[in-house]
Amino acid sequence: MHSFLGRWAGRRAPNWFERLLPASLLARFLLVMTLGVLASQLIGNLIWASYLKGKSEQEVSQASSHVASGAASAIQYFQTLPPNFRHLVIEQMREMGGTRFFISTNDSEIHLHSIAPKPLSNLVIEQIRHQLSAQLPQLLDLKVDFSWPEELTVANDGTRIAELPDHWIKDTLLIQPRPAPVLVIQAQIEQGQWLYLATLMPDPFFLDNSNPLPLERWVLQFATLLTVLLLSWVVARWITGPLAALSNAAEAFGKGESPILPETGSVEFVRTAQAFAAMRERIVRYLEDREKLFTAISHDLRTPITRLKLRTEMLDDDAARAEFHEDLDELDMMVKGALQSVKDSDIHENHTSISLDAMLGRMVRDARLAGHEVAFTRCGLRVHGKPLALKRAIGNLLDNALYYGHSAEISVFEGVGKRVIVIRDHGPGVPDDALETLFDPYVRLEHGRHSNSHGHGLGLGIARNIIQAHGGELVLNNHHEGGLQAVIMLPAD
């Protein structure tokens, strides 16, 4: 069992199936519970309907056989009587209060208003007709049908059963308060003589069993489904609530905040909150140690580098002195670049709502005062983040555009749940195979080294780290009209 679950867990769901599923865990849980309950109810109802149908058909078949036997005996009895005595016997039976059947004689068949056909009523009619035909083969004709009492005619003159005296039918037929369908058997016992028998089935309301799934059962099923969904929603909120809190805390911590997960709820979540707190403390300690380490490196390396530079001045060989100076300058540049990378990434400030118009507008004015050409249109949008950090990240990208493209365009768009900032230059662009390497430390293309000899090749990496720390993304690509464009995607405020 465990191996099967492991193999199934390792398989990836088809893409079309993933697209059909809702995004949130709560919605997926409710969807699975809904489908599960509906499937179980459907299967249960089918089984229950099949059972009730078989049971009803068996009971109706037994009742039909009993009624057919009584009707056959009554028909045989009246066949033995002389025609003149039949009316006398019928009147005596009515005065005595009736029998199982309401009986009358007619000179022709009476047309009946039949009830709407149903499987159980058709079963009764077919079985009684078959049994009477088998027991009484001498009958000239036989009619079996059901009719409602208010439409039931009992004589050729159109007399209805409701017009008869109550003591004739009160022990035989059920008219009030809830009418039951009346079974009518008309047997032609001789030429011009029809025997009319009307009775009720042993279960007068047997037709109610024709529908094994009445409206009341569907209402009960719907109420059960709503109850299960409500309880599932409560349980799902218990499960997904801590997961959402953990996700929000992890996202906030990734942006430089110090969230604290409450250690309440289930044992599993308390352990998760404790593990998250311990992880947060270790990471904070690591960042602090890293900052101290690079501060110590800055102090410890600058002194020997300076001493080495002084000592190279004492060398008599000009070529050797030049090579030493070149190596020391390169080493000094690498130390400064590493320190700058740490300093620019570790900006300790609080998150706040930032107006992009105000921040970008100041950067554009400064660039124009320096003699650069920058195009910018106000957007009226805001983001949430660290102002100095975002300014440094966008400033690095703008500086690159001005250094390598001589002019820049800044555009801001509103996406679905995000803000998109596009910084485009009008330079030569970048080869497509070199786009992915631009974020690597100390990577500078030939055009960049000629345009800006003082750079270290760390600006793009610093900008991407800051933007990613804000939950955003930085993408570089070549514009179809020429030049390189940097696309910054930040979460909406």
Q: How large is the C-alpha radius of gyration of the chain? A: 48
337 half-sphere exposure, CB direction, 13 A CA radius: 18
Q: How far apart are CA 155 and CA 170, in angstroms?
A: 18
- CA 138, 139, 144: angle at the middle one, nearest 5? 145
What is the per-residue pLDDT across 296-338, written as a single tens digit (0 to 9) for each?
666 666 777 777 777 787 777 777 777 777 777 777 766 666 6
Tokens of 292: 């101290």
Strand order in the sheet with 141-147: 102-106, 193-199, 182-190, 141-147
Q: How far apart are CA 141 and CA 486, in angstroms?
A: 97
Q: Considering the entire predicted model, what is its pTM?
A: 0.46
What is the per-residue pLDDT across 110-119, written as a single tens digit (0 to 9) for each?
888 888 888 8
Q: Could you tell me which residues come within 8 angstroms of residue 334 by beta carbon, excluding any fewer than 6 positions away? A: 442, 456
Q: Could you tell me which residues come within 8 angstroms of residue 347 by beta carbon, excluding any fewer than 6 positions away? A: 386, 388, 389, 392, 466
Amino acid at position 330, single letter: E
CA nearest to 254, candidates 283, 288, 294: 283
Residue 38's pLDDT band, with cuts at 50, 70 and 90, is confident
Residue 7's pLDDT band, with cuts at 50, 70 and 90, is very low
Q: Give the pLDDT of residue 130.
A: 93
CA nearest to 337, candidates 425, 455, 444: 455
CATH architecture of the region 348-491? 2-Layer Sandwich (3.30)
Domain boundaries, the chain: 81-210, 348-491
